[in-house]
C-alpha cells in the first residue's frame, strides 16, 4: 500500500515541478508534462481509494490519514475537471503542489485502525463526505485564484513586478474564474451541509447539535454566502472578492483541522 | 568582368570551378543608409515594381529578380551571371526612373553578394534589420514582394528556394526567440497593459480626453483590438475637433464637463490635454466606483504635465499609468528584444550555412565530381563482387576488367559532363544542376 502511495506522491511532485517550470519558462511542453503527470497521479489515486473502499466496505475517511487522502484526491480531481471549464492553466502552480503536500502529509501520519461501526455504512455519510470534500477543493481553487488575483493586481498597481505581469492572465479573467469556483464550491458546500444534517437526524435524531464542527462549517458557509450576496447586490468584485475567497478558505481550513485539534466534537475521531 | 559580348560567355569553355556559379546579389538602400526623403523618392509602387521587373528580365545578365519596397527600404534582389554589370544596370535604372543623381544614389546604396546577400535577406525578413527590431510587418511585406515577382515570373529556382527558406527562417526566429514578444511603443504598451486588466477589449468603451497625436495612436491601437461593439468617446476643449476625431472612429464627442458623469460607463481613459492642472481628480473617481460595481477603470495619461491625479491609482480597481510608467515598460521590453536578437542572429547564421551548401552544390564542378564518385563507387563494388566469385582469373585479366569498368564510367559521364558545362543558350543552368543532383541522388 505504501509503495502505491509512493508512486502517487512521485507523480504529484513531478507534476508540481512541471507547473513551476511552466511558470518560469512559459513553455507548453512543461505544461503538458505537468498536466499528464497530475492526471496519471489522479488515476492511480482513484484506484487506491476505490480499492480501499471495496476492501473495508465503507468509504475510507475514518482517520486523518484517510481523510487527507480524500482531500488530496478531490483537489486534484476538481482541478482537472474545472480546468476545462475555465482554462486557467497557470492555476496548476497552486493546485499541484497543494495536492502533493496534502498527500505527503497523509503519508506521514499513520493510518490508525478504527473499529468499524454501522454508523459508517450509511449512503448519506458517503455522499456527505464526498460532496464536502469536493466543495472544499473548489473553494481551495477559488482561494488560489484569489491569491493569483492579488499578485497580479499588486504587479499592475506598483508597476514594478514584470515577472508576474507577463505570466498571469488578466484581472477580469481571474476575478470571473474565482467567482465560478466559488459558485461551484458554495453549491456543493450547501448540499454537503444538508446531507450532513439529514445524516445527523438519522443517527442522532436531531439535525443540529451545537457541535463545534457544525458551528464552524456554518460560519464558513456564511462567509461565502456574504461574498456571493455582496457581489450580486453591491458589486464586490476584484480585490475585495479575492480577499474574501482567501478568508473563506481559511475558515474552512480551521473547520477541517483547527476544530479537531483545538476544540472537541463528534467529528473527532476522523482526524486522529 | 569584361565579357559583355555574350550572355553565356562565361559558360562556354570554362571547365574550372567558379564561373559556372551565378551570383546572388542584393542592392538597395534602407533607413540606416538613406534619409527618409531619398527613400520616399526611391520607393516603388506595386505597379512600378511590375514594370521594373519586366525591364530587369529583359536584361540578359539578370537571371532572376525581385524588388522589396517598404517605407524603410528599397532593395533589388537578383541572381546574376555578371554581378558588376547587373549592379550597374539596376543603379542606372533607378537613377533614371527616379530622377536621382548617380553619386547621391551610390553614397547611400549598399551591395551584398553571395552568402552575405543570403544573410541579409534572412535578417530583413526576421525583422533584425528593421528600425524597430522585431516589428512584425516586414515579413508580410517581403512575402508580398515575392508574390509580385512570382506572378511576373521573374523568379526562378534560386530565388524561389531562397525566399521559401527566408520565410521559414523568419518563422523560426519568431517562434524560438522573443524578439516580437513585447510592446516597444507607448501605444502598444498601453494596449498590452489594458489586456492585463480586462479579459477582452471587445466590449469596452474608450474615453479620449484631448486630441494629441500620441493619444490618437493609442486610440487607434485600442480600437483595432476592440470589435464593433467597443465604443469611443472624445472630450476635447475645442468641440469641433472632438467631433471630427470621433467621426473617424464612429464615436461620439462630449464636452469636458461631462467627463465625471461618463466615468460611470467608460472603461479606458486616454488623456493628453495641454492642461496645466489635473483634468480628472481623485474626488471624481472615488464616488463612481460604487456605481460601476467595482468594474476596473484604466487611466492612460500621456500628457506632460499630467492630466490624471496619480492618487487615483490608490483607489481599488482603478489603475493609472503615466508616460513614465509606460516608458519604463517599454525600455525593459527593448532590452529583452535586444537580448533575444542574439539568439535570432544564431538562427540566421545556421540557416545561411545550410543554404550556402545547397547553393554551392549548384556549381558544375562539384556536381560532376559527385556524379563521378558515385559511379566509381558502384563500379568498384560490383567489380570486387564479381572478382570474388571468379578466383581463377589471372592478374592481367583482373587489370583488364578494372580498365574496362573505368572506361565505362568515363564514357557514361562524357555527355552529361559536356551538357552540364554548357547546356546550350539556356540561361538557367542551375535548374539542370539541381535536376541532375536529384536524378542521381548525389
**Whether residue A271 has pLDDT greater than 70:** no
Of the residues A154, A159, A239, A243, the best mutation for testing chain B's interface (the one with the most B CB atoms within 10 Å of its CB) is A159
**% pLDDT > 70, chain A:** 92
**Whether residue B242 has pLDDT greater than 80:** yes
Where do the DSSP E strands lie in B210-302?
231-235, 252-254, 268-271, 297-301
Same domain, A48 and A132: no
Q: Which residue has the higher pLDDT, A142 or A66?
A: A142
Question: Which residues from B are below 8 Å from A173, CB to CB?
Answer: 199
Question: Which residues from A are below 8 Å from B199, CB to CB?
Answer: 169-170, 172-173, 176
Domain hosting A226: range is: 122-272
Q: Is B294 on the interface with A (CB under 8 A)?
A: yes
Looking at residue B228, its pLDDT comes to 53
Classified as helix, coil or strand, B184 is coil
- Nearest-Cα distance to chain B for A181, in Å, is 17
Rounded CA-CA distance A79/A185 in Å is 12
Name the pTM for this structure.
0.69
Same domain, A9 and A128: no
Catalytic residue among B36, B71, B393, B439: B71
Q: Is B202 on the interface with A (CB under 8 A)?
A: no
Q: Is B392 on the interface with A (CB under 8 A)?
A: no
Rounded CA-CA distance A160/A154 in Å is 9
Which of B181, B188, B240, B257 lies closest to B217, judged by CA?
Answer: B188
Rounded CA-CA distance B159/B76 in Å is 12
Same domain, A157 and A25: no
CA atoms within 13 A on the CB side of A27: 9
Third-level CATH fold of B23-176: Beta Polymerase; domain 2 (3.30.460)
Last residue of a domain, one of A92, A118, A144: A118
Last residue of a domain, one of A91, A118, A145: A118
> Does B71 qualify as catalytic in the annotation?
yes
**Whether residue B4 has pLDDT greater than 70:** no
Question: Which residues from A are below 8 Å from B310, CB to CB?
Answer: none
The full length of chain A comes to 272
For A14-37, the pLDDT digits (tens) are: 999 999 999 988 888 899 999 999
**% pLDDT > 90, chain B:** 40
Same domain, A114 and A130: no
What's A81's domain CATH number? 1.20.120
**Whether residue B245 has pLDDT greater than 70:** yes
Where do the DSSP E strands lie in B143-302?
205-209, 231-235, 252-254, 268-271, 297-301
Give the confidence band of B18 by pLDDT, cuts at 50, 70, 90.
very low
Last residue of a domain, one of A118, A141, A159: A118
Of the residues B264, B296, B312, B332, the best mutation for testing chain A's interface (the one with the most A CB atoms within 10 Å of its CB) is B296
Same domain, A98 and A129: no
For B188-236, the pLDDT digits (tens) are: 888 888 989 998 888 888 999 987 777 777 787 777 766 655 688 999 9
The CATH class given to the B186-330 domain equals: alpha beta
Q: Over the range B387-412, which residues count as b (16 or more CB within 10 Å of their CB) and which as e?
A: eeeeeeeeeeeeeeeeeebeeebeee
Same domain, A130 and A104: no
Where do the DSSP E strands lie in B183-317?
205-209, 231-235, 252-254, 268-271, 297-301
- Residue B47 backbone zone (phi > 0: left; psi -120 to 50: alpha; other: beta): alpha
Cβ of B316 within 8 Å of Cβ of A240? The answer is yes
Cβ of A176 within 8 Å of Cβ of B293? The answer is no
Residue B203 has what DSSP assignment?
A: T
Q: Which residue has the higher pLDDT, B372 or B180?
A: B372
Domain tally for chain A? Answer: 2
Q: Is B359 on the interface with A (CB under 8 A)?
A: no
> Is the ipTM reported for this complex over the cut 0.85?
no
Cβ of B197 within 8 Å of Cβ of A170? The answer is yes
- Give me B225's grid cell: 483590438
Amino acid at each position: 500500500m505504501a509503495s502505491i502511495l509512493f508512486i502517487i506522491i512521485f507523480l504529484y511532485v513531478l507534476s508540481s515541478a512541471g507547473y513551476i517550470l511552466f511558470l518560469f519558462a512559459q513553455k507548453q511542453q512543461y505544461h503538458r508534462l505537468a498536466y499528464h503527470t497530475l492526471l496519471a497521479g489522479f488515476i492511480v489515486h482513484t484506484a487506491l481509494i476505490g480499492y480501499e473502499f471495496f476492501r473495508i466496505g465503507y468509504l475510507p475517511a475514518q482517520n486523518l490519514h484517510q481523510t487527507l487522502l480524500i482531500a488530496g484526491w478531490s483537489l486534484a480531481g476538481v482541478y482537472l475537471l474545472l480546468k476545462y471549464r475555465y482554462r486557467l492553466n497557470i492555476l496548476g502552480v497552486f493546485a499541484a503542489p497543494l495536492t502533493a503536500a496534502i498527500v505527503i502529509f497523509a503519508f506521514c501520519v499513520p493510518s490508525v485502525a478504527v473499529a468499524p461501526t454501522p454508523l459508517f455504512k450509511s449512503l448519506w455519510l458517503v455522499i456527505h463526505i464526498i460532496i464536502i470534500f469536493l466543495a472544499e477543493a473548489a473553494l481551495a481553487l477559488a482561494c488560489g485564484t484569489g491569491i493569483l488575483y492579488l499578485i497580479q493586481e499588486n504587479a499592475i498597481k506598483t508597476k514594478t513586478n514584470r515577472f508576474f505581469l507577463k505570466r498571469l492572465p488578466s484581472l477580469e479573467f481571474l476575478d470571473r474564474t474565482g467567482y465560478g469556483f466559488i459558485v461551484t464550491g458554495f453549491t456543493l458546500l450547501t448540499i454537503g451541509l444538508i446531507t450532513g444534517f439529514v445524516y445527523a437526524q438519522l443517527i442522532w435524531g436531531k439535525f443540529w447539535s451545537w457541535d463545534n464542527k457544525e458551528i464552524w462549517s456554518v460560519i464558513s458557509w456564511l462567509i461565502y454566502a456574504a461574498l456571493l450576496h455582496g457581489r450580486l447586490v453591491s458589486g464586490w468584485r476584484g480585490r475585495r472578492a479575492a480577499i474574501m475567497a482567501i478568508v473563506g478558505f481559511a475558515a474552512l481550513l480551521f473547520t477541517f483541522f483547527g476544530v479537531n485539534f483545538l476544540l472537541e466534537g463528534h467529528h473527532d475521531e476522523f482526524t486522529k | 568582368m569584361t565579357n559583355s559580348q555574350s550572355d553565356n560567355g562565361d559558360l562556354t569553355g570554362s571547365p574550372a570551378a567558379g564561373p559556372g556559379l551565378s551570383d546572388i546579389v542584393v542592392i538597395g538602400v534602407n533607413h540606416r543608409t538613406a534619409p527618409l526623403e531619398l527613400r520616399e523618392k526611391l520607393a516603388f509602387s506595386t505597379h512600378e515594381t511590375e514594370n521594373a521587373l519586366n525591364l530587369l528580365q529583359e536584361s540578359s545578365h539578370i537571371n532572376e529578380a525581385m524588388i522589396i519596397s517598404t517605407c524603410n527600404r528599397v532593395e533589388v534582389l537578383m541572381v546574376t551571371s555578371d554581378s558588376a554589370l547587373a549592379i550597374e544596370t539596376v543603379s542606372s535604372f533607378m537613377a533614371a526612373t527616379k530622377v536621382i543623381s548617380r553619386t547621391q544614389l551610390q553614397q547611400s546604396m549598399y551591395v551584398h553578394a553571395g552568402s552575405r546577400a543570403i544573410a541579409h535577406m534572412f535578417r530583413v525578413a526576421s525583422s533584425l534589420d528593421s528600425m524597430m527590431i522585431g516589428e512584425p510587418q516586414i515579413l508580410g511585406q517581403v512575402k508580398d514582394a515575392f508574390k509580385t515577382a512570382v506572378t511576373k515570373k521573374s523568379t526562378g529556382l534560386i530565388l524561389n528556394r531562397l525566399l521559401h527558406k527566408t520565410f521559414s527562417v523568419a518563422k523560426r526566429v519568431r517562434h524560438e526567440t522573443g524578439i516580437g514578444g513585447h510592446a516597444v511603443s507607448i501605444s502598444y504598451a498601453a494596449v498590452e497593459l489594458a489586456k492585463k486588466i480586462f479579459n477582452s477589449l471587445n466590449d469596452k468603451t474608450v474615453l479620449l480626453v484631448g486630441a494629441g497625436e500620441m493619444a490618437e495612436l493609442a486610440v487607434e491601437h485600442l480600437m483595432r483590438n476592440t470589435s464593433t461593439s467597443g465604443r469611443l468617446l472624445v472630450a476635447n476643449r475645442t468641440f469641433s475637433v472632438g467631433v471630427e476625431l470621433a467621426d473617424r472612429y464612429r464615436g461620439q464627442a462630449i464636452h469636458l464637463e461631462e467627463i465625471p458623469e461618463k466615468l460611470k460607463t467608460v472603461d479606458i481613459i486616454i488623456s493628453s490635454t495641454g492642461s496645466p492642472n489635473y483634468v480628472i481628480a481623485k474626488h471624481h473617481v472615488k464616488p463612481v466606483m460604487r456605481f460601476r460595481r467595482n468594474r476596473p477603470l484604466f487611466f492612460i495619461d500621456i500628457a506632460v504635465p499630467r492630466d490624471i491625479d496619480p492618487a487615483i491609482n490608490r483607489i481599488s480597481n482603478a489603475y493609472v499609468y503615466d508616460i513614465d510608467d509606460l516608458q519604463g515598460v517599454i525600455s525593459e521590453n527593448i532590452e529583452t528584444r535586444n537580448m533575444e536578437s542574439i539568439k535570432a542572429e544564431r538562427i540566421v547564421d545556421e540557416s545561411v550555412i545550410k543554404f550556402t551548401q545547397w547553393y554551392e552544390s549548384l556549381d558544375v564542378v562539384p556536381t560532376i565530381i559527385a556524379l563521378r564518385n558515385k559511379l566509381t563507387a558502384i563500379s568498384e563494388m560490383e567489380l570486387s563482387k564479381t572478382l570474388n566469385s571468379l578466383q581463377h582469373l589471372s592478374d592481367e585479366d583482373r587489370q583488364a576488367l578494372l580498365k574496362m569498368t573505368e572506361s565505362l564510367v568515363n564514357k557514361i559521364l562524357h555527355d552529361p559532363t559536356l551538357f552540364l558545362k554548357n547546356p546550350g543558350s539556356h540561361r538557367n543552368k542551375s535548374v539542370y544542376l539541381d535536376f541532375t543532383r536529384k536524378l542521381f541522388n548525389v
